[in-house]
Amino acid sequence: MKKDLLAVKDLSKKEVAELFLIAKRLKQTNPKHEKPLQDKTIALVFEKPSLRTRVTFETGIYELGGKPIYLSPQDIGLGKRESISDVARNLSLWVGGIVARVFAHQSIVELGNYANVPVINALSDLEHPCQALADLFTVYEKFETFKGLKLAYIGDGNNVCHSLMLLAETCELDMFIATPKGYEPNITTQNAQLLNDPQEAIRDADIVYTDVWTSMGDEAQKEERLKTFKDFQLNNELLKYAKPECFIMHCLPAHRGEEITADVLESKNSIILQQAENRLHAQKALFAMLYK
């Protein structure tokens, strides 16, 4: 039976541990003989722009022996030019997998329901599971454990925050989340505390994570959000409350001077480029598991 990654919950704790081990091995050795995608074409269906996700998926697919086909919003018109069920069933006739970046999470669920090849969520309004996998693989590389660590997430309770919370729960990593009132994540998990005070959330944190205040699709709210989030900027003043050696994380793209200051983003404790690099390795590991 085909397996999808539509949301973090599609992976068990055991599968996440296995994925991290495979990612570590692929990163260290980049074996030339392991080609789980040999002779497979993978469709990349993107309704929104992307740098990291598109390039790491395309590169990863090539490295695993497959061929990516990128389909831009103009090409398909998911649910507009053609119904999602028809797109999913047609693509399944020709390709071995679908990676999709969509506005509405329901679109990725529908793709998964109608496709008979694996479907991978490359970001929806609710989740960004591949980002979370790369992020917690990065944390694991740094600490070799999740036990006793405190990850603070400051900003918008958005798709990146949701997937991070869900994967943190799987990995038993404690999270403290500070958002303005009304911008809390719309899920709760056992290992996460939801707060509205950034100083309280960041206190003694080992890792501090932030993301843009205005996600793709929310652009009409940008001005209002700039005002609402102004006390949630990750800057050196706020970082005084975290552990001095804490790591700084951001999924990128970043808006310097909004959710994070340039000096914090470029500081020696920033591991944002390691996160970005690990998108490639984590996604290759995911393919290796889905195409065993």
Binding at 274: pick from ligand NVA, ligand CP, none (beta carbon under 5-8 Å per type): none
SS3 track for the chain: CCCCECCHHHCCHHHHHHHHHHHHHHHHHCCCCCCCCCCCEEEEEECCCCCHHHHHHHHHHHHCCCEEEEECHHHHCECCCECHHHHHHHHHHHCCEEEEECCCHHHHHHHHHHCCCCEEECCCCCCCHHHHHHHHHHHHHHHCCCCCCEEEEECCCCHHHHHHHHHHHHHCCEEEEECCCCCCCCCCCCCEEEECCHHHHHCCCCEEEECCCCCCCCHHHHHHHHHHCHHHCECHHHHCCCCCCCEEEECCCCCECCCECHHHHCCCCECHHHHHHHHHHHHHHHHHHHCC
Compare residues 21 and 226 and give the one whose CB is closer to ligand NVA. 226
Compare residues 157 and 198 and give the one whose CB is closer to ligand NVA. 157
* Interaction residues for ligand CP, span 122-161 (CB under 6 A): 123, 131
* Interaction residues for ligand NVA, span 97-126 (CB under 6 A): 123
As a whole number of Å, the CA-based R_g of the chain is 19
For residue 128, indicate whether it is catalytic. Answer: yes
- Near ligand CP by CB under 6 A: residue from 23, 37, 53, 192: 53
The residue from 162, 225, 279, 281 that is catalytic is 279
Binding at 158: pick from ligand NVA, ligand CP, none (beta carbon under 5-8 Å per type): ligand NVA
Compare residues 17 and 216 and give the one whose CB is closer to ligand NVA. 216
Confirm or reject binding of residue 252 to ligand CP (CB under 6 A). Answer: yes
For residue 251, indicate whether it is catalytic. Answer: yes
For residue 255, indicate whether it is catalytic. Answer: no
Binding at 51: pick from ligand NVA, ligand CP, none (beta carbon under 5-8 Å per type): ligand CP
Rounded to a whole number of angstroms, the minimum distance from the CB of residue 52 to ligand CP is: 4
- Among the listed ranges 16-24, 50-58, 105-113, 185-193, the one in contact with ligand CP (CB under 6 A) is 50-58
For residue 225, indicate whether it is catalytic. Answer: no
* Interaction residues for ligand NVA, span 179-218 (CB under 6 A): 211-212, 215-216
- Residues of this chain that bind ligand CP (CB under 6 A): 50-53, 123, 131, 251-253
Task: List, by residue number, the catalytic residues.
Answer: 101, 128, 131, 211, 251, 279
